[in-house]
Structure 1
Amino acid sequence: MKEKSLFIRLWVYLKHYKATLFLAIFLKIMAAVANVLEPFVLGLVITELTKNLLDMANQVPGAGINYSYVFWVLVIYAIRALFYEFGAYGSNYYITRTVQNSIRDLRNSLSQKINKIPVSYFDKHQFGDMLGRFTSDVETVSNALQQSFLQIVNAIVSLTLVIAMVLYLNVQLAMVVIISIPITYLAAQTILKKSQPYFKRQANVLGDMNGFVQENLTGFNILKLYGREEASAEEFAKITDELQEVGFKASFMSGIMMPILHGISDITYLVVALLGGLQVMAGKMTIGNIQAFVQYVFQIGQPIQVLSQLAGILQSAKSSLERIFEVLDELDEAAEASETLAGDLTGQVSFNDVHFQYVENKPLIRDFTLEVKPGEMVAIVGPTGAGKTTLINLLMRFYDVTQGSITVDGHDIRHLSRQEYRKQFGMVLQDAWLYEGTIKENLRFGNLGASDEEIVEAAKAANVDHFIRTLPGGYNMEMNQESSNISLGQKQLLTIARALLADPKILILDEATSSVDTRLELLIQKAMKRLMQGRTSFVIAHRLSTIQEADKILVLKDGQIIEQGNHESLLSDKGFYYDLYMSQFSQEAV
């Protein structure tokens, strides 16, 4: 993606606020003009006063201070100052409004996009990477726009006006100033290139230190248990020593920029002062213009330094824009729907010669055929990588089959609206998900139109009502961001209650009793049985003792059904399921 196209695409968000954007640019130009005019206006006063004092010293008849002229020039100077202050404040105010509104729209676009792209996208990208695109990348673009845009405008306008003013005042001296511009720029760029690797290394080491601190704080009990305090302190000391070293080098390299740039300005100043003094003595230039020239020499350095420093910021913004637009350019999940559901599903599911592969030429599921009647409980077992979760992903249309078809109540699910189709499902996963909010809000997530009475009934059916009432605030207790203020088993009961409230026709259960105590496991199993009554259920089973009542048990291996039947028939066959069950039984007995 070309840099030019990136910033053109960013204009799509800025153009909605172009009135305030152009107003900010206009005010910044006004402030820059007022700033550049300052030495010239002061030069008029100095020239007039010098002339008046010389006339008085030479006893020229009628000589004296021209108070009227000086007064009006000072009035102009004051008006110029007001324009400068108003332009500087107003430009910052309006650019802030423009940028914040545009970034808000960009964030909204990302939020809308994330709800449209397929689930497969999230399988290919790490959570931290996605989070970075939404937070730090957007913030980098925001900072670059708000802090850099007007500075670039100011630097360009100031440089142009300064060059115009020195050319107007004296062409010969102007050439000295103009020659100093590329010299100053090259010096700044050279220092930046030298310092940039140190700043990058400093950022990396700082990240290492933050990660080390977080890791040691979260595992502090383990550190104490194994007596690793001294080793941890020594490792932290190594990191801080490295951070101190690279931090010093980065600061030193960056710190010498101003002395070098000031040195170039001082040399230019000396040359201008020498040549200008000779021209004043020759009567070719006024003292006021000389002082203006001197000030313009110092005004040259700042915009060049700003432009040099902003190059890195703009480069970071470009990289962030690439990452942001990569998300926005992702293809949306296909929304085709040639068939509609006349009513709720009954739950009849058919897998018809299904083939599927995540990676081309690497098939995972082959020749998979299955008939599930309404209300049946189907358990899916098998070793890791057998394809259990993949089957669920296909059923939910998180992925589409490569070959064959999946039908529900006779409808090919590829011809149904994903949104309407998925409303017929309920899911209780091994990793229970609750969000920051009250318990009541979390339960209502399954059915936004549910009344308080319906919520309580669902909680009672899930054996979680009593627990909720013992909490401070009851149903109105606030869950924290990670819902760590309740136990894992209690979270599972809440997700079951949420699924009950949604009243789905087809259930997907990733058995979640492996990490809880026996008493809570029994409560969860009872709640799950109530949840499955009258509904077609697909259960990914880890503990085989929990699926003995399943109507069908599918034993998967390498994406194919190698055994199928109920618990008793599979045990009597003494095949793979028998070996798996007996190994678990012997482990539990031990």
Structure 2
Amino acid sequence: MSEPQITGKTYDAHLLRRMMRYVRPYKGIFVVSVVLTILMAGIAPALPMLVEYTLDRFILQNDTDGLRLMLLLMLGLLLLQTVIRYYHTLMTSTLGQSVIRDLRIAVFNHITRLRLKYFDHTPIGRLITRTISDLETIANIFSEGLIQIIGDILQLVVILGVMFYTDWRLTFIVLIPMPLMIGATYVFKEAMKSAFQDVRQWVANLNTFLQEHISGIGIIQYFAREEQEMRKFKTANAEHRNAHIRANWYFSIFFPVIEIIMAIALGLLVWYGSKQVLADELSPGVIVAFIMYINMIFRPIRELVDKFNTLQMGMVSAERIFAVLDTNEQTPNTGTKHPSTIRGEIIFDKVWFAYDEEKWVLKDISFKVNPGETLALVGATGAGKSSTINILSRFYEVNRGAIQLDGTDIREYELNYLRRTIATVLQDVFLFADSVASNISLNDPAITREQIIEAAKQVGAHDFIIRLPGGYDYKVQERGATLSAGQAQLISFIRALVHDPKILVLDEATSSVDTETEGLIQRAIDTLMKGRTSIIIAHRLSTIQKADKIIVLDKGEVKEMGSHQELLRIDGYYKRLYDLQFHSAGI
């Protein structure tokens, strides 16, 4: 359930440059955000300066008219700061959300194009974390991190400049506790770095755990594993809680320490400043202004730590997201052939295939299927039947040999064209949480409602569909939970039919349905196969007796090949399997 730990840097120029590519379409918003940040920093010391001027020139001089004017100026300044801060927050949030919208599209687009081998060893929950929560963390880089850090640093520079200009000696006195502040900040930053990495790690772990266990809830309940799995979840949840508590504990220590350091600076200011005022070397307005300056210096420094952590968390998330985007496990789409017609001739020429190196699943497989013929693959579980059809659609790449379609290596065809040419009906039907019609057409606008209904009638599923509430607009629940296995299988079969494939692949397509439904599908199969090249994988030999050619696979090797009658005459593996099935059925 764990994943490799990524040690993110607080600032990574390379990652930041990559993220800035996604900012380019919104450079106007970015520029406005930066300008507003500079304005906020520039006018930050204006209020203390006005307070100082008002106290020395009007309050101590009892000038009520001037005091009224200064109060109006202060009110106007506060309104201006409020407006700037409002638009600054709006712009940075808009920028952050726009960037992660584009990044999320890029991540999803990339994930959907990864070859199946990648998903064999990558937990789905981890990819969900990357696409959702990690991207939200990146948004904070723009709304609460990078631009805010620049603004706080600019504000510090401006305020310190004004303080030194006003009274350099008093400024030095105020800055005496600053080394303590810097030391505390550094220790806190390093501690938070580790804590936040643990938090992100356990968020990913929990997402992975929940995705796997909710998807497999049937197995958990069938085997009464609720209590055992709950104990595992409690352990993972406790680790997640502890990581958050550890992070919050550091905050609970850090902020009181900063308050103490601020109090020390304020005490030094009052001690030294009061002596200067009594000696008539300093005005009271300067002391009041410096009290305000202290808060304006220490508050950004205190918040800088939090914002650096936000930036650091964003960098960690960015590193993880770009690790997904940099995953070079896509099926190479180097082919360009896109012929107007496909005859459907399939040739496997000495094909070797392994999911892991040298652990061969298919060994030196060779056969030919002529256009319009039906090939059946039989064999025990693990013989290599499903692997054969997976490499035909290039979900996995062959290690040796070649597969040809109409005399052309399948790698020379444009990938989407190749896969649209082949329609596959699987044993494990997946239906989306959408309407029946959308599950059939997969939201392809080129497929009309009339075509869907016609295909359903051919399959024999039209009657049961129109009896559903809403008919073809009936909302199927996730994974087709509200339909029977037979109904879900029929819908998947209509899905294959309506896309009008040149090559049809049936992978145990009738194994999950009852005898009556199987009869409906078998009749539709007979109609659909006419004029199409078909490959059938089936354990029920009754469904493949009409096949033009039957291949018996065993441990990745072709053991027997021929028609049903030819294989029975051989009196080999197929004959034994046939006798076993039909004798057990009492035939």
Q: After TM superposition, is the score higher than 0.5?
A: yes
Cα offset for 1:484? 1.9
Residue 391 of structure 2 aligns with an amino acid whose one-letter code is L
1:8 pairs with one of 12, 17, 27: 17
Cα offset for 1:233? 8.7
1:493 pairs with one of 465, 469, 490: 490
The sequence identity of aligned pairs, in percent, is 33
Per-residue CA deviations over 1:404-458 (Å, capped at 9, x if unaligned) read 3222222222222222233322111122233233222322339643433332221
1:385 pairs with one of 372, 382, 386: 382
The aligned residue for residue 261 of structure 1 is: 258
1:371 pairs with one of 360, 368, 371: 368
> How do residues 422-441 of structure 1 correspond to structure 2 at under 5 angstroms?
422-441=419-438
Per-residue CA deviations over 1:211-256 (Å, capped at 9, x if unaligned) read 6899599969987996978x99998888888877776665444223
Q: Quick one: distance in 2 between partners of 1:445 and 1:217?
A: 22
Q: Quick one: distance in 2 between partners of 1:349 and 1:214?
A: 38
Q: Quick one: distance in 1 between partners of 2:309 and 2:295?
A: 24
Change (3 A) 1:579 1:467: same
The aligned residue for residue 59 of structure 1 is: none
> How do residues 153-192 of structure 1 correspond to structure 2 at under 5 angstroms?
153-191=150-188
1:537 pairs with one of 534, 538, 563: 534
The alignment yields a C-alpha RMSD, in angstroms, of 3.5
> How do residues 353-502 of structure 1 correspond to structure 2 at under 5 angstroms?
353-445=350-442, 448-502=445-499
1:325 pairs with one of 297, 322, 326: 322
2:553 pairs with one of 547, 552, 556: 556
The aligned residue for residue 278 of structure 1 is: 275
> How do residues 53-64 of structure 1 correspond to structure 2 at under 5 angstroms?
none
Cα offset for 1:289? 0.5
1:74 pairs with one of 71, 74, 78: 71
The aligned residue for residue 29 of structure 1 is: 38
Per-residue CA deviations over 1:307-366 (Å, capped at 9, x if unaligned) read 21223322221122223223333456433346452x422222111222334444444433
Q: Secondary structure at the match of 2:307?
A: helix
Higher deviation after alignment, 104-113 or 253-262: 104-113
Q: What residue ranges of structure 1 are gaps of 5+ in the alignment?
A: 53-64
Residue 398 of structure 2 aligns with an amino acid whose one-letter code is V
The aligned residue for residue 334 of structure 1 is: 332
Q: Does residue 90 in structure 1 map to residue 87 in structure 2?
A: yes
Q: Quick one: distance in 1 between partners of 2:297 and 2:426?
A: 64
Higher deviation after alignment, 181-190 or 152-161: 181-190
Q: Secondary structure at the match of 1:553?
A: strand
The aligned residue for residue 567 of structure 2 is: 570
Q: Quick one: distance in 2 between partners of 1:370 and 1:235?
A: 49
Asked if 1 retains the 8 angstrom alpha-carbon contact of 2:177 and 2:264, the reply is no
Q: Does residue 127 in structure 1 map to residue 124 in structure 2?
A: yes
Per-residue CA deviations over 1:360-407 (Å, capped at 9, x if unaligned) read 444443322111112221111223333222221221133443333222
Higher deviation after alignment, 179-188 or 255-264: 179-188
The aligned residue for residue 49 of structure 2 is: 40
Higher deviation after alignment, 447-456 or 501-510: 447-456
The aligned residue for residue 61 of structure 1 is: none
The aligned residue for residue 101 of structure 1 is: 98
Residue 564 of structure 2 aligns with an amino acid whose one-letter code is H
Higher deviation after alignment, 171-180 or 570-579: 570-579
Q: Does residue 306 in structure 1 map to residue 323 in structure 2?
A: no
Cα offset for 1:574? 3.7
Residue 386 of structure 2 aligns with an amino acid whose one-letter code is T
Higher deviation after alignment, 239-248 or 479-488: 239-248
Q: Quick one: distance in 2 between partners of 1:205 and 1:255?
A: 22
Residue 368 of structure 2 aligns with an amino acid whose one-letter code is E
Higher deviation after alignment, 231-240 or 428-437: 231-240
Q: Quick one: distance in 2 between partners of 1:213 and 1:570?
A: 46
Asked if 1 retains the 8 angstrom alpha-carbon contact of 2:266 and 2:294, the reply is yes
TM-score relative to the length of structure 1:
0.86
Higher deviation after alignment, 568-577 or 149-158: 568-577
Cα offset for 1:37? 2.2
The aligned residue for residue 506 of structure 1 is: 503
Cα offset for 1:545? 3.6
Q: Quick one: distance in 2 between partners of 1:289 and 1:19?
A: 40
Residue 67 of structure 1 aligns with an amino acid whose one-letter code is T
Change (3 A) 1:209 1:323: closer
Asked if 1 retains the 8 angstrom alpha-carbon contact of 2:354 and 2:361, the reply is yes
Asked if 1 retains the 8 angstrom alpha-carbon contact of 2:185 and 2:305, the reply is yes
Change (3 A) 1:212 1:370: closer
1:152 pairs with one of 141, 149, 157: 149
Q: Secondary structure at the match of 2:510?
A: coil
Cα offset for 1:464? 0.6
Asked if 1 retains the 8 angstrom alpha-carbon contact of 2:129 and 2:204, the reply is no
Q: Quick one: distance in 2 between partners of 1:561 and 1:226?
A: 41
Change (3 A) 1:529 1:183: farther
Q: Secondary structure at the match of 1:367?
A: strand
Residue 367 of structure 1 aligns with an amino acid whose one-letter code is D
Higher deviation after alignment, 299-308 or 400-409: 400-409
Cα offset for 1:267? 0.9
Q: Quick one: distance in 1 between partners of 2:473 and 2:276?
A: 84
Cα offset for 1:115? 5.1
Change (3 A) 1:329 1:234: closer
Change (3 A) 1:39 1:326: same
Higher deviation after alignment, 387-396 or 504-513: 387-396
Higher deviation after alignment, 297-306 or 521-530: 521-530
Change (3 A) 1:245 1:509: closer
Cα offset for 1:39? 1.7
Per-residue CA deviations over 1:63-97 (Å, capped at 9, x if unaligned) read xx233443443333223212211110011111222
